[in-house]
Amino acid sequence: MRKIPIILLTLGLAAYSGLTLAEVAGDSERGAAAAVTCNACHQADGSGKNIPGGESWPRLAGLNAAYIAKQLQDYKSGTRTNASMMPFASMLDEQQIADVAAYYAGLPATPGSGGESADQSMLDRGKQLARRGDWSEYIVSCASCHGPDNRGAGAVFPGIAGQHAGYIKAQLQAWQEGTRNNDPQDLMGSIARRMSDEDMHAVAVWLANQNSAAN
């Protein structure tokens, strides 16, 4: 019997349960000023943007500050790549990264956009994958790492309930293809490689329609 997902999950949680990022206190007021250049994509309220069938920019409002800071640091170092984000992240020093992260973390979480419609059977499949996973395909549930109701679990696992469907699906595809790999112990990569395009779409749409308020 294959137990790779369980082993990876155990290793990832054990290795990262005590993770602490650079302890730089962020100032949300300074962060608001520094984040002005982010508004074009992430919006002034941090709600992001989702174009059905097109590009999607993530909601940052209400996400964990340390998680946001980690992603900005990864863009700056090149550990995570994106043609739009890397130049902006490179302009920020450690203090500014902490400030921007504190600013977005302090904003009220906004609803996600499901983008494309989905029938009930697809939504049911998305709910299964998000809450229970599918052990017949060795797919670990999203909630196993992303916490109760997928609203986040500390600095490592962000809240994905209420995140835009287009963004969730794009990240799953990136992990599947290996173009994103800044997750602990390749947890996301190992799961995404077991998912079909239909599964990615189903879980992305279902998650986008969940309450993000407690992220």
Residues placed in the known binding site: 38, 41-42, 85, 142, 145-146, 188
| Helices 197-208/120-131 angle, 10° precision | 90
Q: Encode burial over 158-172: b for 16+ CB neighbours within 10 A, e otherwise.
A: bbbbbbbbbbbbbbb
Residue 69 CA: distances (Å) to CA of 111, 128, 138, 185: 22, 31, 31, 19
CB neighbours of residue 13 within 10 Å? 17
Binding positions for heme c are: 38, 41-42, 85, 142, 145-146, 188
| Residues contacting residue 16 through CB under 8 Å, at least 6 positions apart | 156, 184, 185
